[in-house]
Structure 1
Amino acid sequence: MRLLATALLALAGSGCVLHGPRPIPPVADLKAPAIGPSKSLQPVAWWESLGDPKLNSTVKAVLATNLDLHAIDQQLNQQRALVRLRRAGMLPQVNLAVNGNFQPGQVMEFNLPPIPGFEPPAQPEDPYAVSLTSQFSLAYEADLFGRLRHGKAAAEADLMAAQADRQTTALLLAGRTVELYLAAIEARAQLKQLEVSLELQEKQLALLQNRHQKGLGDLLAVHQQEQLIATTHAQVPLLKNRLASAALQLAALQGETRTVPGALGLRLDFPVPEALPADGLSAELILRRPDVAAAVSRLRSADHRLGEALVARYPSLRIQANAGLGIAPNSPTGVELADLGEAIGDDLRNIFDNPGEQMAWNIGGALSVPLFSGGRVKAQIETAQAGYRALALRYRKTVVEAVVEMSNAMAAENSQRAYIKRLEAQAKAVRATRDLALARYGDGLIGYQSYLQAELSLNQVTRSLISARRQLVSHRVTLMRAIAGPVSSPKGGRQ
């Protein structure tokens, strides 16, 4: 029995863990990243690689004021408190209880006949009864098999997952802000193109009207040109509405209902990202994604919760200790108020002079061994095992989807670059055709319909080129979101 007690005390002091953390198998030849406490809750500033100071300040403002991020910050505070709660459960719990009682005493009356040689005890004029007790209690659960450590580690992993989720939300918000910024550039560029087109169309209308008045032109050509101008004008309010909508959506991201003038800048051209490396990008770049980090942390948390469930099959040891002191400076008839301080002082001196005699204490332990729970412990283990397997599959899915997203973004960007080159060649040819048609129409060699068709084609291809350039930057934004950071140039520098 003594040997068993000694072994239990040694085990309580050192503890052992019956379920160690399991390694996470690689997915697509990618090993799980090492996850530690996050030093920053902000994502890598990949948008700075676009080289637009106004865009940088806009994204920074959104990340500083977004209501979703502020709500997540409060949830992180809750998770941090849960971690502290788990850590506190591994420490002894010490309590102090103090009880005091102060009440008037009662004067004792002695209705006895006179007895020779006997004097009744003197009665205090204003008696009081006083008592004061204090009790210290200490409770401690010895973490024999690591149950408490598993619980603490699971809470810490949940906190790291929540921090990664916060980074994921910030990453998506930054991407949304950049897209709104690009949408505003596109709308302004389209409006500028319409202004140029309208100026040319108005000049051409004046020319047609002049030719018609001189009997050199057809009235049908005048009406067709007026129709073209009206069609062009009709596109202006739509583009202005797109610009206003982008500004309002940006304000909403900042928790505001009113737009801030100039928040989306005044830029008319798009940033031009450098070409991707010829040999592509390494799939390992997706390991810096915060959603991958969150999946790893949740899987580690599930592993620790499985260990917590497994340990529930083993004994638990609780240690309890109590110590109490009390003073009651009272005589059978009470103590007068004027003498109360002196009486309490005498009792306190007795406590310090003879603490062993004045203090009552006890210490004990309780060893609990689960014998029968109706299958509850087994069900908890099976629940934890199923949860771990489900999160392992979700981690695998997250990695696979990240690799596919990165590959699709690279392919889309390369295809878009090829499309823009063809579109630029087309625009050059259409512009030459329009200029030639205008010259021949002025010389009376072709009809107005031929020139009108060339003008419409140039307007369409010019607007298509603006949208294509915006889409190229959007593909780069998608790629940088997919790898949670900027794309390195072939020389290893950042764009």
Structure 2
Amino acid sequence: MRFPQTVLPSAILALLALAACTAGPDYHGPEAARPVSPAAQFARAPTDASAQAPASAAWWTALGDPVLDALESRALAANPGVAVAEARVRQARASLRTERANALPNVNASALYVHATVPGVDLGSSEEDSSEGGDSQSLNFYNLGFDASWEVDLWGGRRRGMEAARAEVEAAQANVADAQVSLTAEIAQAYVNLRDRQQRIALAQQAAARQREMLRLTEQRHAQGTASALEVEQQRNQLEQSDAALLPLSAERDAYLNALATLAGEAPGALDAMLAAPAPVPLPPAQVAVGDPAALLRRRPDIRAAERRFAAATARIGVAEAARFPSLSFMGLIGIGGTDPGDLVDLDTLAAIAMPRLSWSFLDFGRNAARVGQAEGARDEAAAQYRQAVLNALRDSEDALSRFGARRLSVASAARSKASADRAAALVRQRFEAGTATRIQLLDAERQSLAAAQALTQGTAAMTADYIALQKALGLGWR
């Protein structure tokens, strides 16, 4: 069968020539994302910080703790929060595939059978097809058909939709990285706090044992008349305070054990056997690489996610703009069939229709203009959120650097204080062995040395926590 050639009107040809056009503004990146001068280093970086850009993966290994390394690996593999972010990446990728498919023709196949009984109408059927009751006639109709439709992307609305979908995929991927950064920092922080509490509990128990011995000796002296009741009560009061200080430390230790198990995707108590043995608080490296502000903007996943959302919002303006212009679509139908099943293989019954369609909602009373305005407002909101993310990141980094530098000085002072307390305890022991100091004085000096050790442990944990906060502020822990 020969089909007549269809000649498109010149107006349609002119519209097809516009198919390379793309409505809406092109995205060139936010102004704040342009590189910063390498000379502009962080203002409050400590003197032992290096400007060399740090490696953006597994920063926690610099703490040199194998148990922490194992916890981080387990958490990254099993934490539900990361799994939620990864599921959203899969959703975004499916949306992108949908946008790509929407730009292609839509093809359908159908098979149809119709049996109709029509009264009082002569349909040309045989007597065998007539009903016995009178004038009604029966009709059977068989048909196989294919139809296809395609809307030409004249103004680039589909292309802008795919551009927005790609940006959303990249934003979702950055959100996964942000979840990983937060998770690794939270795991490390809880681990440091756990080790701090374990060390302080052990030191507090030793101090309480010495305080209990001092109370016993003071009670003996009181019984012998060489100590007053006031001294006994003072020693008893100090012992009660020492015992009371152990209770919140024990509760906090248990809470951090539960937190670590939950962060690792386990039930509370699942990691108690692994973490029960006390261990020292891990120390940060002697030198910390912080990079520069330009590297920070490229590295932090929350900034990357905000920038990709800005790109997606910009692309959606083009989607809204394209809806304001005429649209051109093509529809084609091919069918074969008739009133007999044999007609389904008879090419003489083949029918085909090709239909171009041009539509334009030119009088919509401002609906499309309102959609464009809404998209532009969303773009401006995303731009402001990006700028806010950049400012927050720079502030976080400056604050973390300042705290980390100050905490190192504080730990150095605590270390000197402990060394002084240790020397004092050693001198009192020499005097005790020489018979010029009492055992109570020796126990008191040892208790003061233990108190200094507790302060140093607490300060060390705070310094490592500030190091962890710095790594989080720098956006490390992800690839």
TM-score by length of 2: 0.80
8 Å CA contact 1:44–1:484 kept in 2: the answer is no
Bigger relative contact order (CA 8 A; separation at least 6):
2
Work out the CA distance in 1 between the residues paired with 2:278 and 2:184: 19
Q: Spell out, residue by residue over 1:335-357, the C-alpha distance to the aligned partner (whole angstroms, 9 max, x if none).
A: xxxxxxxxx45x455x2xxx3x3
Partner of 1:336: none
Q: Spell out, residue by residue over 1:13-35, the C-alpha distance to the aligned partner (whole angstroms, 9 max, x if none).
A: xx32243523224428637xxxx
Q: What amino acid sits opposite 2:15 in the alignment?
A: L
Work out the CA distance in 2 between the residues paired with 1:486 and 1:130: 70
1:359 and 2:350 correspond: yes
TM-score by length of 1: 0.78
Alpha-carbon deviation of 1:450?
7.5
1:259 and 2:269 correspond: yes
Partner of 2:176: 166
Alpha-carbon deviation of 1:89?
0.8
Tell me the matched-pair count.
439
Partner of 1:5: 12
Work out the CA distance in 2 between the residues paired with 1:16 and 1:411: 52
1:54 and 2:70 correspond: no
Alpha-carbon deviation of 1:320?
0.7
Structure 1 residue matching 2:32: 3-state secondary structure: coil
Which ranges in structure 2 are unaligned for 5 or more consecutive residues?
1-7, 37-55, 118-125, 133-137
1:399 and 2:390 correspond: yes
Alpha-carbon deviation of 1:432?
2.9
After superposition, residues 97-108 of structure 1 pair within 5 angstroms as 97-101=110-114
Q: Spell out, residue by residue over 1:417-458, the C-alpha distance to the aligned partner (whole angstroms, 9 max, x if none).
A: 111111111222233334445666787878999878756644
Alpha-carbon deviation of 1:213?
6.3
Q: Find the partner of 1:63 among 73, 76, 81.
A: 76
Moved more, 201-210 or 83-92: 201-210
Q: What amino acid sits opposite 2:32 in the alignment?
A: V
After superposition, residues 24-63 of structure 1 pair within 5 angstroms as 24-27=29-32, 30=35, 44-63=57-76
Work out the CA distance in 1 between the residues paired with 2:422 and 2:428: 10
Partner of 1:35: none
Partner of 1:76: 89
8 Å CA contact 2:317–2:375 kept in 1: the answer is yes
Partner of 1:370: 361
Work out the CA distance in 2 between the residues paired with 1:129 and 1:29: 74
8 Å CA contact 2:16–2:154 kept in 1: the answer is no
Work out the CA distance in 2 between the residues paired with 1:427 and 1:133: 95
Alpha-carbon deviation of 1:464?
1.5
Which stretches of structure 1, 4 residues or more, deviate above 6 A after TM superposition? 121-124, 441-453
Work out the CA distance in 2 between the residues paired with 1:485 and 1:73: 18
8 Å CA contact 1:16–1:144 kept in 2: the answer is yes
Alpha-carbon deviation of 1:79?
2.3
Partner of 2:375: 384
When residues 30 and 408 of structure 1 are mapped into structure 2, their CA distance, relative to the original with a 3 A threshold, is: farther
Q: Spell out, residue by residue over 1:3-53, the C-alpha distance to the aligned partner (whole angstroms, 9 max, x if none).
A: 3333334445xx32243523224428637xxxxxxxxxxx83222222222
Q: Spell out, residue by residue over 1:301-340, the C-alpha distance to the aligned partner (whole angstroms, 9 max, x if none).
A: 01101111222222211111111110433xxxxxxxxxxx
Work out the CA distance in 2 between the residues paired with 1:397 and 1:281: 21
Partner of 1:313: 324
8 Å CA contact 1:437–1:450 kept in 2: the answer is yes
Partner of 1:272: 283
1:479 and 2:456 correspond: no
Q: What amino acid sits opposite 1:295 in the alignment?
A: A
8 Å CA contact 1:221–1:448 kept in 2: the answer is no
Partner of 1:19: 24
Moved more, 402-411 or 22-31: 22-31
Work out the CA distance in 1 between the residues paired with 2:57 and 2:356: 53
Q: What amino acid sits opposite 2:475 in the alignment?
A: A
* Rg (Cα) greater in structure: 1
1:326 and 2:314 correspond: no
Work out the CA distance in 1 between the residues paired with 2:379 and 2:159: 18
8 Å CA contact 1:164–1:294 kept in 2: the answer is yes
Work out the CA distance in 1 between the residues paired with 2:278 and 2:439: 36
Partner of 2:100: 87
Q: What amino acid sits opposite 2:151 in the alignment?
A: E
When residues 157 and 280 of structure 1 are mapped into structure 2, their CA distance, relative to the original with a 3 A threshold, is: closer
User: Percent sequence identity over matched residues?
Assistant: 26
Alpha-carbon deviation of 1:67?
2.5
Work out the CA distance in 1 between the residues paired with 2:299 and 2:400: 17
Structure 2 residue matching 1:271: 3-state secondary structure: coil
Alpha-carbon deviation of 1:384?
1.5
8 Å CA contact 1:247–1:263 kept in 2: the answer is no
After superposition, residues 49-448 of structure 1 pair within 5 angstroms as 49-101=62-114, 131-205=141-215, 207-208=217-218, 221-260=231-270, 261-264=272-275, 266-276=277-287, 281-286=291-296, 287-329=298-340, 344=341, 347=343, 351=346, 355=347, 357-437=348-428
- Supply the RMSD in Å over aligned alpha carbons: 3.5
Work out the CA distance in 2 between the residues paired with 1:300 and 1:20: 11
When residues 475 and 51 of structure 1 are mapped into structure 2, their CA distance, relative to the original with a 3 A threshold, is: same
Alpha-carbon deviation of 1:182?
0.8
1:470 and 2:475 correspond: no
Q: Spell out, residue by residue over 1:258-284, the C-alpha distance to the aligned partner (whole angstroms, 9 max, x if none).
A: 31123446342122212345x963123
Moved more, 383-392 or 478-487: 478-487
Q: What amino acid sits opposite 2:389 in the alignment?
A: T
Structure 2 residue matching 1:262: 3-state secondary structure: helix
Work out the CA distance in 2 between the residues paired with 1:79 and 1:132: 43
Alpha-carbon deviation of 1:58?
1.2
Alpha-carbon deviation of 1:71?
3.0
When residues 123 and 186 of structure 1 are mapped into structure 2, their CA distance, relative to the original with a 3 A threshold, is: closer
Structure 2 residue matching 1:192: 3-state secondary structure: helix
